[in-house]
Amino acid sequence: METNIKRFLPLAKYFVLLMAVLFFSGCKRADFKGDLSTEKANVFPIDESYKGNILFNANLDNYTYRDANDTDERKKIRASIINHLKDLKTMGVRESVGYLAVGGKDRKVEKGDPIDFDYLDKMYKVLDEEGIRYAIPLIVDRVVVNPDDYGPVWEENCRWYVQEMARYYGTRPLYYSAVNEPFTAGMRGDGVPLTVDQVLRIQEVFYRALKAVNPEIIVISCPVNTLEINRGSVQLAERGITQYCDYFGFHKHVDIGEDAPRSEKLIWDAIDRAEEMGFPRRGIVLNENGTHLILPRVWSGATEEDARDFKARWVGNDLIQMKALGCKYIVMYSLLGSKANNGEYNILDVDRPTANGFTPYEKEYQAYKELWQVEPHLVSRGINGGFEEENPDKSRGWVVSFKGWPRGGAQSSIPQEWESVDFIHDDSPGAFKGDSYLKMAKPIRPQISANRCRRLVEGLIPGQRYKICARVKLSGDSSRATLRGMGFDVLGKEKAEKVVTYAESQGKYTRIEVSFVAVNEWVVISLEHNGEGVAYWDEITFTK
């Protein structure tokens, strides 16, 4: 009997995990209302398990042309882009189909029109063969014939188009979206932003059409640009858009960090509001994310090399920030092909082709290649919790968070927030154990109000409880420190944090801990200081 039990125990672990996945999946689908047909889509076995950190806007459609125009040179370019995607270990790409599906920019689709799948497969079949997943924006506001302002005729045409796509591609895409940045005038064919009512109408029709083909298809809401985060996101949430999506989508091309004017944390405020109004709580997908070379705007002496150094550091910082937010997927803008800000978002130079691709902007490219993978952050590799290992680059390993837009100007490509956070290696009595520790002092610049140092830990088991422990010492009566676990909950609701005041520390190391149950397969450990007095951190541990 004892032998049989021992044999059964490893299987029991997987059985419990399977039951948890089925439970959460059931919860996610339970609020769908509508008759679902039993018609089967072109189904790939759906696998929503986490496989990496990064997707890219690859803009393959810029280099996909019809018939005689689809030259060997164009095919070579597409192959080159895919080589770069593989080199970066990209888990997926976001590729718009839009006009491509219906035969060109002068055409719109209505019920009964053929969809040019042979043409689309020039992109998608190759991606399938290479094991690269993809997300599909269908752009129904610009592609579907709309004679009655999103009335019944438009709905019939929209359902036709969306369901034809769903029957063909099924669950092969990671997710589908209906409209890109609905409140941005430049995204509309007529230059007129959509209203909240129109977005809700589009999203509901789109969602029900896809789910009627296959309820396992993943749908995100029409992604809102963070420039519209205060208005659009909250209004859509209050009006119930989470009824018609599996994840809430947004774009981020502005500042980052909790104290930024348009902080991405406001997305969770919108989700909180939806829940308050009685609508389903959803996770979030960062459907477009990136920054251009902003350093020259605040430092007149900044060279392009300075700006690219700063952006490469931003890449590591951004990974931590977005994983701390708990995003299900993160799409970077852009690998190649973007013309925004004269192409500054791209990490490949379109004007410098090489034999097997395009010349990268090397520091940015390498930062994505080295940092945005799962492997460097696996819990099995340890977290350097005693700071005994050197951490010379504060955008890697233990990352010192900073705002993407330098505050009060800058005279260096080194982020100003790094001035008050140091990794100390000496024989002074500052450490709790050994001779290394993390020191957070009062920021030199008045524009900086707090210190944050964070570490991404990958490879967690969903359903497993974990514990983060730390030793912290404070000096200064107003000094305060916070230990947090962040990003582990796909719904952004559960918190894991502990605050320590000087009165509790009394100038000596005190032990603090937080615990949480993982839902995502990662957590971000955050060591924070309010910028008053000094905080010393040591012996950070992460255990089950």
**pLDDT averages per 10-residue partition of the chain, 544 residues:** 40 41 38 37 40 84 70 83 91 78 72 86 87 92 94 97 95 94 87 94 98 97 79 88 96 72 78 96 94 90 95 94 93 91 91 84 95 92 95 95 85 93 88 95 89 96 97 96 97 96 94 97 97 97 96
Provide the token pair at 283.
């996770």
pLDDT at res. 105: 60
Answer yes or no: are the C-beta atoms of 387 and 440 closer than 8 Å.
Answer: no
Q: What is the DSSP string of 466-502?
A: EEEEEEEEEESTT-EEEEEEES--TTS---EEEEEEH
Place of tokens 């109000």: 449
pLDDT at res. 471: 98
Output b/e per residue, 335-370; b: 16+ Cβ within 10 A: bbbbeeeebbbbbbebeeeeeebbebbebbbebbbe
123: closest CA among 148, 94, 163, 143? 94
CATH number of the domain at 53-374, please? 3.20.20.80
pLDDT at res. 53: 80
pLDDT at res. 99: 63
Per-residue DSSP letter, 61: G
Start-end of H helices in 239-303: 266-276, 295-298
pLDDT at res. 180: 92
Domain ranges in the chain are: 53-374, 379-543
Burial class (CB in 10 A: 0-12, 13-18, 19+), 228: buried
Helices and strands in the chain, H and E counts: 12, 20
* Domain 53-374 and domain 379-543 have a common topology: no
> What topology does CATH give the domain 379-543?
Jelly Rolls (2.60.120)
pLDDT at res. 22: 38
pLDDT in tens, 31-67: 333 333 333 333 333 344 446 788 999 888 777 666 6
pLDDT at res. 117: 86
Query: What stretches of 99-213 adopt beta strand conformation (E)?
Result: 133-137, 176-177
- State in Å, rounded, how far the first CA of the chain is from the last one: 29
Place of tokens 């969770």: 268
Dihedral angle over CA of 162, 168, 173, 177, nearest 10: -10
The SS3 assignment for 291 reads: coil
398: closest CA among 499, 318, 496, 317? 317
Output b/e per residue, 272-310; b: 16+ Cβ within 10 A: ebbbeeebbbbbbbbbbbbbbbbbeeebeebeeebbbbb
> What's the whole-model pTM score?
0.88
- If one counts every other C-beta atom within 10 angstroms of the C-beta of residue 518, the result is 21
Output b/e per residue, 493-509; b: 16+ Cβ within 10 A: eeebebebebeebeeeb
Strands 534-543 and 92-94: unpaired
Q: What is the CA radius of gyration of the chain?
A: 24
222: closest CA among 177, 274, 271, 286? 177
pLDDT at res. 103: 61
Strands 55-56 and 92-94: parallel
The SS3 assignment for 78 reads: helix
pLDDT at res. 262: 64
